[in-house]
Amino acid sequence: MPLFSFSHYKFFWRSSIAFAFFLTLLFIANSLTLQTQSTSTPCNKDPYKQLNLILNQNGTVTRPNKPPESPPAADPTLLVLSKDLPINQSKGTWARVYLPRAARDHRSKLPLLVFFHGGGFIFLSAASTIFHEFCFNMANDVAAVVASVEYRLTPEHRLPAAYDDAVEALHWIKANQDDWLRNLVDYSNVFLMGSSAGGNIAYNAGLRGAAADDDEIRKIKGLILVQPFFSGVRRTGSERRLVNEPHLALCVNDAIWELSLPVGVDRDHEYCNPTVGKGGARLEMIERLGWWVLVTGSGGDPLVDRQVELVKLMEKKGVRVVGHFTPGDYHGIQDTDPLKAKELYGVIKTFISALN
């Protein structure tokens, strides 16, 4: 049984949009109040020191500290099983697939979340412990198969390399003969999902595939964008207000884009800013495909104004979009706060269930 009938979901959708609009007004009001106080406030951090990166002369970076990683777990006593499957060995790409044990025991088909991890395009892995635990718990709480994709990192492989890896991963999933993917996935119920930089990847990879008349991409049900990582040349109110926010200072944000975008472009490039240039036309393509989109954000995230702006533009273009924004909190909170992660799983499950 779906959590809501479709008529109830329409109400949920409209209420969410209304809430997003209310938050937009609230954020704008706060920005106008504080903008004159923060316009001249400099970002007081050394971004590369803050990121713990050493820039090399050949355009690569040295990452001195490797965050902890976790292996897949095939223990049949666990609530969720996981295993690693290679995608493209020449690129070093692979996927960690998570399957709720109940689905294996009952041979029931579940929705598929193709997940792209965060880390500013530069850091972390599908094997990173924070994302392993996130995907393990999400598979269990949402009752979905999760395929967490290992993609190439910047600046060694600047964008659009990660987008290409994402599109290739979706084709690989559909063609794979692995028992879990072949027999336990409902391919009428597939979502591209990502958090932070991964949300940017899910968004851009989906649009790239759809623009290329890629049938595998066009058949997905929608996008789930968790605090998606976007930027632009013009500063928003939340960026000015939270210029030195400890989880994502403005100068750190700018440095990440400098290392990730194609050489010679600015932050109004389409990979970075979905609201300028042909951004509106790209959203019209989402509307024509009939995809549903969930965008989540937090009031304490410097990027929140951009996320709200994207929801408003989607609504204007007729996209079936749900905006879920919470007051306070910070960028990446779902990766470090289990209670916030569990709340997010509930939002995702409601979103998916209401469409069926």
Cα dist from 201 to 122, 196, 288, whole Å? 13, 9, 21
Burial class from Cβ neighbours inside 10 Å (0-12, 13-18, 19+) for residue 44 reads exposed
Cα dist from 354 to 5, 109, 201, 291, 294, whole Å? 7, 17, 25, 14, 12
Distance CA 258, CA 48 (A): 11
Active site includes 196?
Answer: yes
Place of tokens 């990979």: 271
Cα dist from 197 to 154, 225, 288, 321, whole Å? 11, 10, 25, 20
Distance CA 121, CA 260 (A): 7
Local structure of 319: helix, strand or coil: coil
Annotated catalytic residue within 141, 195, 331, 335? 331
Relative to beta strand 61-62, strand 54-55 is: antiparallel
Distance CA 166, CA 189 (A): 18
Contact 40, 235 (CB under 8 A): no
Relative to beta strand 61-62, strand 222-226 is: unpaired
Annotated catalytic residue within 196, 231, 260, 298? 196
Active site includes 301?
Answer: yes
Active site includes 331?
Answer: yes
The b-or-e profile of 177-191 (16+ CB within 10 A means b, else e) is eeebbeebbebebbb
Annotated catalytic residue within 165, 301, 305, 335? 301
**Tally of helices (H runs) and strands (E runs) in the chain:** 14, 10
Report the catalytic residues: 196, 301, 331
